[in-house]
Structure 1
Amino acid sequence: MNFKTKKLVLAVSLALACQGASAGEKEELEALRQTTLNLIQALVDQGLLPKKQAEALITRAAASPVTDAFSSKTEAGVIRVPYVPESVKKEIREQIKHEVLAQAKNERWGDPGALPDWVGRFKLDGDVRLRYQKDIFQKDNFTPTQLAPFGININNTSEDRERLRLRARLNVKAKVTDDLVAGLRLTTGNTTDPVSTNQTLGTSFNKYSVMFDQVYLKYDPYRWLSASGGRIPNPWFSTDLVWDKDLNFEGVAATLKPRITDNLTGFLTGGAFPLQEIESSDTVKAKSKWLYGIQGGGEWISDNQSKFKVGLAYYQYMNVAGKPNAVLNSSNFNGTAPQFRQKGNSVFNIDNDGNPATNLWALSSNFREINLTASADFAAFDPVHVVVTGDYVKNVGFNRSEILQRTGQDIEPRVKGYQTKVTLGMLDTYKLGDWQAYVGYRHLERDAVLDAFTDSDFHLGGTDTKGYFVGGNYGIGKNAWLSMRYMSADAIDGPPLAIDVLQVDLNAKF
């Protein structure tokens, strides 16, 4: 029996109970009986309640234990109805009216244009970005042939390149229950690049590939607890020094968010993510690769809504370091080579067939990263904000002697990275006239982080890079804005490779 039926049965039961009451009591209950029967008739007349169901309600109410609860036999043929206080009757009438009307509003009874209930559980949004990008190369850069022995795979290092690019994303969230949400996102891009969703124009008018960028379930049973599984959005408080903004994570993560004081909230996030599943065997010696992470921190909000947030994270990669194939022409450890790299990390050739054209590059170092991230949002002049962010990372998994023994290479440790950024303006530029400007500096040594997952735009992706970036955003209408960013980057220790990147974007969200 649903909510509406229960309430109607109760009302009808009370109304029918008056049929056996004394003359004085009948007068008090007659109004309730008539009101209830009129309500049922009105629902029938409006087509909201089938006539058979209405008759069944009255029949069910007449036989309901509720009627017995309001009557008792004292002698043969005589039925006494206990006194029902006026306040109780009034409360019952008001409760029935309010709750039935609330349900009618929620379920849109009688609305010929009403959509099915399941439609209201979906939320749809997305964005489209058009980009002009120019890659600018210094003339004294090493050529691709000169970079190849360093494991740097790049096709062009001298000729400036101009591109028009497109990104489109469509996000769908479905409320399965009050606590469980299913999410998925479709995006442009390709399946071989986890850190970019750009589609470069110039395909002879061919069609674009669209794929699932996110597919997950998120469980929020309490305000202070959430858990996600699948291909999930980045769960970490971070910048693009360590994690590219387009990167999503495959695996599971959970976050605790205890409120410590009225102004201070803590957070603790943990996650486990398979990077590459490998079926090991007698001939396949490589092991499956994993990433485990944990991050703790807190956020303090002042009375004027200024925010200060800090997080300390530890990320441990398992089985990502390469192992050489010991036997000539064997491939036992081919799986230790990464499926995806950008550039910058120390690598060595694990293929031993003697043919340089088939070199198989694998990572020299293990990676266990300690990452400290902080931000301060000064809101005293709201809507204009001053936001200062800082990020520092160190790879404590680098072991020089172990690398020498395993690879035969004596590599000097370059395992630190940091980034600072100052932003002035509105927090977002989704309205006409909103503006934002920023400037920052980055220094990321070659083995500070896994080069596969750091920012793909600065220095055209990867590590072993330093330089500055500057940019801004300006709102040109509701949910539409222009943005510009210029990044100037040089190599730190590796062969000469200086790349500047200019990006001008037209953005729209819906």
Structure 2
Amino acid sequence: MGSSRASNVDKLIDKLVEKNILTRSEATELIQQINEEEKKEKKEVAGTGETKDVRVPDWLGNMKVQGNSRVRFQTEDIENDKNNSYRNRERIRLRLGVETAVNDSWKAGFGFVTSSGDPRSTHQTLGDTFSLKDISVNYAYAQYTPVKWAELLMGKFKNPIWNASNLIWDGNIYPEGAAVRFKYKAAKNVELFANLDAFVLQEFSDKANDPYLIAIQPGLNLKLPGDMYFKIAGSYYDFNYVKGNDWTKDSSGNIGAGWGVGTNSRDAAGNWMYDYDSFAGNAEFGLPEISGYIPYAVLYGQYVRAIDSHDNNTGWLAGFKFGHKDANDFGRWHLSYNYRRLEKDAWPDFLSDFDSYNGNTNIKGEKIEFLFGLNKNVSLGLNYFKFDHILRTSDDTQHKMQADINMKF
């Protein structure tokens, strides 16, 4: 192998070891394998006066490694709640992912994140006498792209359903199952897209009918004059066997070990009373540079309505954001605001945004977010949440503030 290529391969393998993607023994074995292939190929060309370098395996050369980390200080308080006074926490998050093209049609990816298993929380709270923090598999998927306008996802993957914000889907949730995505350019400035998804919700060891979700989402992305754009999509969610199960339990029936909060309507046995089949809509309107100080601005909204629950069954969100699209260098900034209302039985409470009153439904309130770039790939984030319950017997407003140092690598 040429000396420069050998050096590059060694550096790449060392990087994979540093990120714990390969063990040292696996790295040594891989280097030996490459060297043996080099010797074999050199023998094949011996006597011809030619030399031939060994090519790095395609899957290794195509591998992309990326991640981010966060240090957060969070304070929260619920008014008039004597059992929940001010709570202050320092928290951390680490995410690391790998993606590689196996061949022209297939791609594989996997990622790890700090989490104890909660699909809506990837932060770990510091404390517990310097305890070690948990790492979980965040995603692991296979992607098949037979044609450029369609792809199939299988496994655990980033949510393929487009959402203008997080009214009904927490941004940390990576669904499990299969999804087919379509994207077709119908005209110069018109793009059509669609998703067809089949998600596994739960696997009960003592029941024959396991809950699952079928989702369909067609949409349109329209480019307008002056670099403006308008994106809109409608969704139908067909939940199956949510009704009749207690979502505060896990698959083995352990109470409190599930991810349901318990703010949806429940029967005397604690089981959910509805399946929450729903229609939802998302829209986003992007504006060009307003001035030299505001290079980017967006108006967005969401709406959801459950069709099998007849009262307190709607939700909506409206917001705006402006500044730079990212804050990945010094002086770049981003400000966003949204107001939302999510009624008690508008949506399952094990999927909605967890930062908004701990994932509850039956809430209304606002969120303000500000990002400022401190250096290349380092930013400061400030978030404020204020939420109330819609149906309530006392003033139980929750205030939450977060200060983040974000780093990308």
TM-score normalised to structure 2 length: 0.82
Deviation at 1:117, TM superposition (A): 4.8
RMSD of aligned residue pairs (Cα, Å): 2.8
Write the letter of the residue equivalent to 1:250.
Answer: E
Q: 2:172 aligns with which of 246, 250, 253?
A: 246
Q: Which entry has the higher C-alpha Rg, 1 or 2?
A: 1
Deviations 1:76-95 (A, max 9, x none): xxxxxxxxxxxxxxxxxxxx
Mapped to 1, the partners of 2:110 and 2:233 lie a distance apart of 28
Deviations 1:249-282 (A, max 9, x none): 0000011111111111001101111111235xxx
Deviation at 1:245, TM superposition (A): 0.5
- Other-structure match for 2:14: none
Q: 1:198 to 1:336 in 2, by over 3 A?
A: closer
- Checking the alignment, whether the CA contact within 8 Å between 2:317 and 2:341 is kept in structure 1 is yes
Mapped to 2, the partners of 1:301 and 1:348 lie a distance apart of 48
Q: How many positions carry a matched residue from both structures?
A: 363
Mapped to 2, the partners of 1:174 and 1:56 lie a distance apart of 36
Deviations 1:216-269 (A, max 9, x none): 011123221111010111011112101001001000001111111111100110
- Other-structure match for 2:24: none
Q: 1:121 aligns with which of 42, 51, 62?
A: 62
Deviation at 1:290, TM superposition (A): 0.6
- Checking the alignment, whether the CA contact within 8 Å between 2:177 and 2:200 is kept in structure 1 is yes
- Other-structure match for 1:378: 287
Structure 2: stretches of 5+ with no match in the other structure: 1-38, 247-251
Deviation at 1:438, TM superposition (A): 1.5
Q: 1:323 to 1:453 in 2, by over 3 A?
A: closer
TM-score normalised to structure 1 length: 0.66
Q: 1:302 to 1:380 in 2, by over 3 A?
A: farther
Deviation at 1:287, TM superposition (A): 2.1
SS of structure 2 residue aligned to 1:119: helix
Write the letter of the residue equivalent to 2:166.
Answer: D
Deviations 1:291-349 (A, max 9, x none): 1100001101235432211010011110111279xxxxxxxx97999932124211233
Mapped to 2, the partners of 1:313 and 1:337 lie a distance apart of 31
Q: 1:480 aligns with which of 357, 378, 381?
A: 378
The yes-or-no answer on 1:203 pairing with 2:128 is yes
The yes-or-no answer on 1:439 pairing with 2:356 is no
Deviation at 1:387, TM superposition (A): 0.6
Deviations 1:176-208 (A, max 9, x none): 1112111101000112x1111110011211111
- Other-structure match for 2:304: 393
SS of structure 2 residue aligned to 1:363: coil
Structure 1: stretches of 5+ with no match in the other structure: 1-46, 59-103, 144-155, 325-332, 351-360, 400-412
Q: 1:334 to 1:209 in 2, by over 3 A?
A: closer
Q: 1:223 to 1:362 in 2, by over 3 A?
A: same
Mapped to 2, the partners of 1:509 and 1:190 lie a distance apart of 22
Q: 1:271 to 1:118 in 2, by over 3 A?
A: closer
- Other-structure match for 2:238: 316
Q: 1:51 to 1:469 in 2, by over 3 A?
A: closer
SS of structure 2 residue aligned to 1:217: strand
The yes-or-no answer on 1:217 pairing with 2:142 is yes
- Other-structure match for 1:507: 406
- Checking the alignment, whether the CA contact within 8 Å between 1:321 and 1:336 is kept in structure 2 is no
Mapped to 1, the partners of 2:166 and 2:338 lie a distance apart of 12
Deviations 1:439-462 (A, max 9, x none): 211111011010111000011222
Q: 1:293 aligns with which of 206, 215, 218?
A: 215
**Which runs of structure 2 are paired with 1:20-419 in the superposition (5 Å)?**
50=42, 53=45, 117-139=58-80, 141=81, 156=83, 158-191=84-117, 193-238=118-163, 239-279=165-205, 284=206, 287-322=209-244, 339-350=258-269, 361-381=270-290, 384-398=295-309, 413-419=311-317
- Checking the alignment, whether the CA contact within 8 Å between 2:59 and 2:101 is kept in structure 1 is no
Deviations 1:115-139 (A, max 9, x none): 6554212100000011111111102
Q: 1:52 to 1:441 in 2, by over 3 A?
A: closer
Deviations 1:66-112 (A, max 9, x none): xxxxxxxxxxxxxxxxxxxxxxxxxxxxxxxxxxxxxx9xxxx659x
SS of structure 2 residue aligned to 1:207: coil
Mapped to 2, the partners of 1:425 and 1:136 lie a distance apart of 30
Higher strand share: 2
Q: 1:190 to 1:340 in 2, by over 3 A?
A: same
Mapped to 1, the partners of 2:376 and 2:393 lie a distance apart of 46
What fraction of aligned residue pairs are identical, expressed as a percent?
Answer: 28
Mapped to 2, the partners of 1:51 and 1:133 lie a distance apart of 63
Mapped to 2, the partners of 1:476 and 1:257 lie a distance apart of 36
- Checking the alignment, whether the CA contact within 8 Å between 2:60 and 2:100 is kept in structure 1 is no
SS of structure 1 residue aligned to 2:88: strand
Mapped to 2, the partners of 1:469 and 1:294 lie a distance apart of 29
Write the letter of the residue equivalent to 1:503.
Answer: Q
